[in-house]
Amino acid sequence: MGPIGIFDSGYGGLTVFKEISHTLPQYDYIYFGDNARVPYGTRSYDTVYHYTMECVNHLFDLGCHLVILACNTASAKALRTIQQKDLPKRTDLRNVLGVIRPTTEIIDRFTISNHVGILATSGTVNSASYVLEIHKFFPQIKVYQEACPMWVPLVENNEMDSPGARYFVKQHIDRLLQQSTEIDAVILACTHYPLLLPTIKEFMPKGVQVISQGSIVAKSLADYLYRHKEIEALCTKNGARQFFTTESVENFKEKASIFYGLPVEAAQFDLIHKIP
């Protein structure tokens, strides 16, 4: 038995973890941020897969039987390969889930016009994962994408309320909505973006619903654990939280509290020398 693992390339997954730990507070969790190698969004499929699998294996070594990729880029570029290639080779019961499917499989609840927008990193947009997943469930929905490469650096540098943030948020919302006047729902397909939500809502026209992933992923995880008793039985329940980072602990603690909403204590994990 062991905790539930939450993985992200950086800090954004903490916005998802915050919702998960609020919805399911009884479980033990380990959050692992590969902050030393962020960003993943601009890297190749092979590199993202290699990095993600390395971190997932670390969480497996720490006793996690279930790992959530709380990262859209990792979910888009690595999850399918991990599920189809790596997990079947294991003799023990392990699973890895992502953040894309929970949102896409219920997107019809948020749109009347069947025109949906995606705001995401360049890596997620180029993967077309949201387009493919939405069309798998709802082929009638038209999907429009806009890459927002400046949004993550703005959030990570705590510039959410700056004039620069307002400029780039408006710029990309305008570009997305120019693709269709019928868009009535927009998915924030990056876990950093909820921290820009007040500014996003300011520039998003009334009648367009903005969808954050955190609460959706948390509810989906609760449903998964209810339906998969064999995995749920392997998840320990002491309400414990642990945080690991591949970067400086002090840097992580300072920025992580912005995303998680609470102070965190963390330990460094060296992926090269495997020294916790």
- List the pLDDT tens digit at each of the 276 positions of the chain: 999 999 999 899 999 999 999 999 999 999 999 999 888 878 889 999 999 999 999 999 999 999 999 999 999 999 999 999 999 999 999 999 999 999 999 999 999 999 999 999 988 999 999 999 999 999 999 999 999 999 998 998 889 999 999 999 999 999 999 999 999 999 999 999 999 999 999 999 999 999 999 999 999 999 999 999 999 999 999 999 999 999 999 989 989 999 999 999 999 987 755 543
Helix, strand or coil for residue 126? Answer: helix
* CATH 3.40.50.1860 describes domain 102-213: yes
**Nearest C-alpha neighbor of 215 from the set 10, 5, 11, 18:** 18
Confidence at residue 274, expressed as pLDDT on a 0 to 100 scale: 53
Helix, strand or coil for residue 196? Answer: helix
Q: Give the separation between CA 110 and CA 130, rounded to whole angstroms.
A: 15
For the chain, how big is the Rg over CA atoms in Å? 18
The residues facing 209 across adjacent strands are: 185
Binding residues for substrate: 8-9, 40-41, 72-73, 191-192
**Nearest C-alpha neighbor of 180 from the set 138, 145, 215:** 145
**pTM recorded for the entire structure:** 0.92
Q: Considering the domain 4-98+215-268, what is its CATH architecture?
A: 3-Layer(aba) Sandwich (3.40)
Task: List the catalytic residue out of 55, 64, 148, 190.
Answer: 190
Binding residues: 8-9, 40-41, 72-73, 191-192
Q: How is residue 117 annotated by DSSP?
A: E
Q: Give how far the C-alpha of residue 209 lies from the chain's centroid of Cα atoms, to the nearest Å.
A: 19
Helix, strand or coil for residue 67? Answer: strand
Task: List the catalytic residue out of 64, 71, 148, 235.
Answer: 71
**Nearest C-alpha neighbor of 70 from the set 32, 121, 126:** 32
Active site residue 148: no
Q: Give the separation between CA 251 and CA 20, rounded to whole angstroms.
A: 24
Q: Is the dihedral of CA 37, 130, 156, 164 positive or negative?
A: positive
**Nearest C-alpha neighbor of 244 from the set 26, 79, 2, 5:** 5
Confidence at residue 244, expressed as pLDDT on a 0 to 100 scale: 96
Confidence at residue 276, expressed as pLDDT on a 0 to 100 scale: 39
- The most distant pair of C-alpha atoms in the chain lies apart, rounded to whole Å, by 53
Confidence at residue 83, expressed as pLDDT on a 0 to 100 scale: 97
- Residue spans of the domains in the chain: they are 4-98+215-268, 102-213
Do 4-98+215-268 and 102-213 share a fold?
yes
By the 10 Å C-beta count (0-12 exposed, 13-18 middle, 19+ buried), 73 is classed as buried
Within 13 A of 209's CA, how many CA atoms are on the CB side?
A: 15
Active site residue 71: yes
CA separation, residue 154 to residues 130, 157, 168, 186, 190 (Å): 24, 5, 9, 20, 13
**Nearest C-alpha neighbor of 119 from the set 189, 15, 174:** 189
Angle, helices 13-23 vs 249-260, to 10°: value is 60
